[in-house]
Amino acid sequence: MATTFPIRICIGLIHNDKKRYKYIRPLLGWLKQSLSDRFDIELIEVGEQPEEVGHPISMAVARKFLLWRLNRDWIRYKRMKPRNILLDLLILARRLILTVINRGEECRRSAIDSYVTDKHIRIWGQFLETKADFLICFEDDVVFKEDSVSRLKLFLKGITDYKGEPVYLDLAGGCSPDVLKVTSLEYKKDKNRKYYKKPVTNTACCYMISRPAVKIFFYNLLKSPGLRLISIDWLLNKLFILSIPQHKYLCYHADPPIFAHGSVSGSYSSWL
C-alpha cells in the first residue's frame, strides 16, 4: 500500500536552454527521489515560448514607467525614504529617452522579461492543478552545490506547520545585501536562515512558495494584468506590496544560499 505523507510538494522547472536542461533535469530527478521518503513529490516543467520578437517601443516605454513607479513603492515598502520626486522625474525622463534611443535592445529585453515572467505564472497555474501544498520553482540556471540536497532537507524541517499559510522562501539568492537593502525588514537570523517581517525576494532563480500565496498572486494578477509585463523578481515584490496589508506571510531566505545562481556566479550567461 502506498505511503501517505502530510505534505505534497511540486518541483517545478522553468527552462529555455538545452545545455542547462541537460545538466539540471537529472539533478531534479535525484532531488525528487531524495525527498520522497518524507513528502509526496511531483515534477512539472514549463519550457515552450513564442519566437523572440521585441515589444513595440510604446510597450517598452510603458514598462519603464511602470518599473519606475514600482521602485518608489518598493523603497517605501522597505521603510526607506524615496528620492526627491523632482530628481526622480529627471531620472525617469533620462531612462525613457535612452529607451527610445536604444529601442532595438530595450524592446528585445522587454519581450524576454515578459516571456520569463509568463513561464513562472504558467508553472504557478500547473502547480495549483496538482493540488500540492508547496512549489519549489527552479529556473534552469540553478547550479547544485555538493550539499544542496542535504541542506534543503534540513531547510524543510518543520514546513508541515505552515501548510495552508502564505509562505515564500528564497533558496538561491543572487543579489548582494548591498543591492537588496532589506536589512530594515530582517528580524531574526540563525546559521541557515534570515527571517523577514514582510516578504521579499532576491532573484527568482529558486524559491519555494505555498498554495495560498499562489492564490493570492493570481487574485492580484487578475486585478492588475499589466504586471505581467515586468520581470519576475520585480513582479514578486510588487505582489507582496499589494497583498501584505491583508495577508501575513512566512518569509525567510537561505543564508548562505542552498543553490548557486549560475547567471550571477558566471556559470551561465543571462537569458537577456
State pLDDT tens for residues 19-32. 999 999 999 999 99
Q: What integer is the mean pLDDT of 58-85?
A: 93
Q: What is the reported pLDDT for 268?
A: 55
Q: What integer is the mean pLDDT of 255-262?
A: 90
Q: What is the reported pLDDT for 146?
A: 93
Residues with Cβ within 8 Å of 41's Cβ and at least 6 positions away in sequence, in order, are 8, 9, 10, 11, 32, 35
Q: Report the topology of domain 8-265.
A: Spore Coat Polysaccharide Biosynthesis Protein SpsA; Chain A (3.90.550)
Closest CA to 24 of 261, 207, 255: 261
Contact 199, 168 (CB under 8 A): yes
Band the pLDDT of 3: cuts 50, 70, 90: low
Integer Cα distance of 48 and 39 in angstroms: 28
Q: What is the reported pLDDT for 1?
A: 43
> How far is residue 168 from each of residues 206, 224, 226, measured CA to CA in Å?
11, 21, 23
Q: What is the reported pLDDT for 89?
A: 95
Task: Convert the pLDDT of each residue in 104-128 to its tens digit.
Answer: 999 999 999 999 999 999 999 999 9
Task: Convert the pLDDT of each residue in 86-96 to its tens digit.
Answer: 999 999 999 99
Beta bridge partners of 208: 136, 169
Q: Is the pLDDT of residue 267 over 80?
A: no
Share of residues in the chain with pLDDT > 90 (%): 79
Query: Where are the chain's structural domains?
Result: 8-265
> What is the DSSP annotation of 228-260?
GGS-HHHHHHHHHHHHTTT---EEEEESS-SSE
Task: Convert the pLDDT of each residue in 136-193 to its tens digit.
Answer: 999 999 999 999 999 999 999 889 999 999 999 999 977 877 788 898 999 999 988 9
Q: What is the reported pLDDT for 52?
A: 83
Share of residues in the chain with pLDDT > 70 (%): 96
Q: What is the reported pLDDT for 51?
A: 84
Which parts of 49-84 fold into alpha helices (H)? 57-77
Amino acid at 68: W
Average pLDDT value for the chain: 91
Band the pLDDT of 4: cuts 50, 70, 90: low
Q: What is the reported pLDDT for 269?
A: 55
Integer Cα distance of 63 and 247 in angstroms: 27
Beta bridge partners of 42: 10
Question: What is this structure's pTM?
Answer: 0.93
Q: What integer is the mean pLDDT of 77-106?
A: 94
Task: Convert the pLDDT of each residue in 206-232 to its tens digit.
Answer: 999 999 999 999 999 999 999 998 999
